[in-house]
Each structure stands twice: as C-alpha cells, then as structure tokens.
Amino acid sequence: YDFGQTKEGIFYFAMELLPGKDLGTLVASSGPLPAPRAVHFVTQVCGALQEAHRRGMIHRDIKPANVFASQRGGIFDYTKLLDFGLVRRVDVDPGTRITPGVVAGSPGFMSPEQITKPADVDARADIYAVAAVAYFLLTGRPPYEADSALETMLDQVNHAPPAPSTIRPEIPSDVESIIVRCLAINPDERIASAKQMRDELCRCQCAGEWTEEDAQQWWADHGADAASHEALHDTIEKGLPKTFSG
C-alpha cells in the first residue's frame, strides 16, 4: 500500500495483512479438498488472471503456495493470487523478454514450454499452472512427482500426468475434463484463456455448492482467527522494529 522511510531511518513497506493460509499449507494440514471448494478457489484465481492477462502480464509462478485463502469483509475463502515476482509483460521487445536458456518457474506447476522455450511463453502457461493447482487441491499431490526437479521437468515435457480420478475416484468428471485439457503438453490443446476456463468451471455441476456458510464454518472449526493472530505475533517477535508493533 505504501513505502518510505521513518524519521529514525528505517525503510518500510506497508502491505496488506492477510488472515488465513496459502493453499499448500491448507492442503498439507487438512488433506485434499472437496470438488466444490477447489472449484471455488480456482475460479477466483482465473478471475485474477483474467485481469492480469488483460493488462499484458503473465504470472509464470502460479502454485499452491502463491494462492492464499483469506477473509475479507466477513467473507471467508476469499482468494488472493500472490507473488508476481516472475511476472513479465507480453508486449515487450522479444529480444529483451528473458535471458535465453533461463528457466523461470516452479517444477511440477510450470508449463512444459517454460522449460523448453522460456522466451516464448504466453497466457496459456498460466492456464496450465492453474490446472496443476486444481489437480493438487483435488488429489493432495502435484501432477508430477519425481526424485529431483530435473526428473520432474523431464516428465512434464514428455508425459501427460495420471488423471486425477485415478488418485481420487470421487472427483467429478466434468471438473477432471477441464483440468486434463489444461494440462496438455501442447499449449494449442489447452483452454485458451482464463475467462474461458473460469466460465467452464462455473458450468460444472458442483460449482456454487461451496457456500459462504460452508467456508465460515470450516474456518471456525479450524481456528482461522487464532492462527492469524499467532502468525502476526510470531512475525513481530522475530524482530520487526517496535515502530511497527502497533
């Protein structure tokens, strides 16, 4: 929200305080999500990407740790897409997009073209990553698992992942179909835009079944407020200047 320097010479950023937890932590602590809740999160991520892509920005590092389930205005499971640290614009000079040969992203969630042609990625790379996040939310594991980052990336480039329903048979077929299409190795075979992906997810039978009341009850059962206050207290105790402790 702001940045500057105090009269004591301390540089600062003023940032939004988010109560809640990232989706990687949420799944690690609670297990795979029911399909309606996963769709609830993913459609919101698609909405954020729709705006980013409209402005010519590709995120390039969408993963569970960068999607945050928060609370805003009394609404629980309000989703924030975080960490645009690897973002790049699609309207820059192709010769200055990225250092040739440099792979940017997170193995297991980055698109195959980020591995093979990192200078040429477009919005469809983010579509792939969102599908990988959806896969993780529904199954509790990423689409690819290997002993090393290199092996993971080789699998991504050469092999389609197992269908989510082979891990959890109860995953709805209409949701699975969207995920599988968006995890295609060839970007031409994926859903073309974040808007289209969101629209198709919203037409799934389970869309809308995760209600505000469901979300509020889940966080009440899992101590959302206590967890947030504890995290803030720990941050302050680890050494933030007293100027900011209020």
Enzyme catalytic residues: 61
Backbone phi, then psi, for 75, in 5-degree steps? -100, 125
d(CA 89, CA 205): 35
- Which residue do the tokens 């940045």 mark? 3
- Which residue do the tokens 């995760």 mark? 210
Other C-beta atoms lying within 10 Å of the C-beta of residue 32: 19
d(CA 133, CA 54): 21
How many CA within 13 A on the CB side of residue 48? Answer: 20
